[in-house]
Chains A and B, each alone.
Chain A
């Protein structure tokens, strides 16, 4: 099964082809706010270079967030167009899970916290353990400040590893008790290879997303709606 994966939720965008043997090809590029301009031309280039035509694909995988609002929408809207045009099934992959999937083999009890920067000095974070080389959720995704994330992490078993673009920033602001528990920090961004890999697994398991109504994982309502909730 050949799957095309799109990762567009941060400053580094990537596009990957993955099959049963693993990665076929991947292009990653910093898009400098020109994601919409560069995404489909880069996809076109990747397919030409690998001599893969759209009719040879078996499915699409898209990084669903949380992350950049505009980035998520560009990736998902492009995927919706591709899916409607080709009839290809879509797998929606939570971006924090894709971050966790990129980690090498860990001890079974390890806690892998995927953490990305969110607006207003907050973080998007979720915690996973590893089973059969794949991430399994320990704590669900949330948008929270460093103190709230540190409090959630107090409950998970050691060793604790941090991965994602927010890893170092969070580690620096973590309280000393938590800081001592952190075994490793990797500031790596999410990559399409892992989005495609996890998406392929979902499609093989029959977990096809409803592409018609698919939307990003924002985790919160828009700022305007949040502000209104706070009004008396």
Chain B
């Protein structure tokens, strides 16, 4: 089956063609990062305006790069939850127009399920059972992945997402552009033990809280008055985030009694997180699956792959498919037909 995927849940307009489940024929991302950079965050109305402007060109480019056409597409998958409503609506409307116009089956995909499937795409197939750490600018969550489409939340963010903490930290240490990726670069020249930033404890040991860390950074910068080299501050701050992510992922793997850890979301591209998790995982005989950088951030290949799997299991959504700003990822959010299949 050849599936066209569309993703517009935040500020990337993306389309991809996936075949046979996990083979990415082509994927295209039109990033709006430059548009939003000067506003210090994603502006929903600007994002929606850009999506509707470029969506056709992005879909056409994905089809062309895949060497295919709509005549050869057998299903349409689109992110319909969670995300910015105005942004989601553009992708979902486009997908409905395409599916109705060609008489193709349509399936709505949960964005976070997409991130889990990004690991499957990288591995060439499902890696289950596993725990999945999804960390980005909008999410920081731990899931138990019993099987594809069968998930259980193990930990969630209580305040700032990890990617948000990276971006805010980057701005605090004076990196005007580039966010968490720029902080990662700067931290490579610094000493991660230079400043003892706090590792937040939460009532539920697998939940995440990063807002206190951000406050600690701001307070430190104020009192330090520039005495500590900025690379040391960046490295120490990054280390505080990475330590919590790695520790929680390992605890989750232990609690779930699995030997595989999947990582997804923009933060999965962080070099320190990758190195540290790989090192400790090897020591504990755990498999770790990181998607390549272009599949860590929001993309449509992961949506097409998740949609392909749902379509193969007989899941079909009507043209009344709705968008949702918020919805947790659990097995219960999937169609009954699907649960029977994966029982």
Contact = CB atoms under 8 A, between A and B. Distances in A.
Interface of A: 34, 36-41, 43-44, 54, 69-70, 73-86, 211-213, 215-216, 218, 222-225, 228
Contacts of A228: 38-39
Nearest to A35: B89
A85 B97 contact: yes
Contact of A82 (B46, B101, B318): B101
B250 interface: no
Contacts of B91: 77
B27 to A, nearest CB: 18
Contact of A85 (B48, B53, B98): B98
7 contacts: A36-B96, A43-B100, A70-B89, A81-B96, A84-B56, A213-B56, A215-B49
B319 interface: yes
B224 to A, nearest CB: 31
Contacts of A225: 46
A225 B60 CA distance: 29
A56 to B, nearest CB: 13
Given A73-B93, A215-B52, A222-B43, A85 B100 contact: yes
B320 A41 contact: yes
Given A84-B60, A86-B101, A222-B49, A78 B86 contact: no
A121 to B, nearest CB: 19
B239 interface: no
Contacts of A38: 320
Chain B interface mostly? helix
Nearest to A215: B53
Contacts of A83: 97, 101
B255 interface: no
A216 B52 CA distance: 9
A45 to B, nearest CB: 10
A148 B201 CA distance: 58
A74 B57 CA distance: 17
B109 to A, nearest CB: 16
Interface string B173-217: 000000000000000000000000000000000000000000000
Contacts of A223: 45
Interface in B91-146: 91-102
A82 B70 CA distance: 12
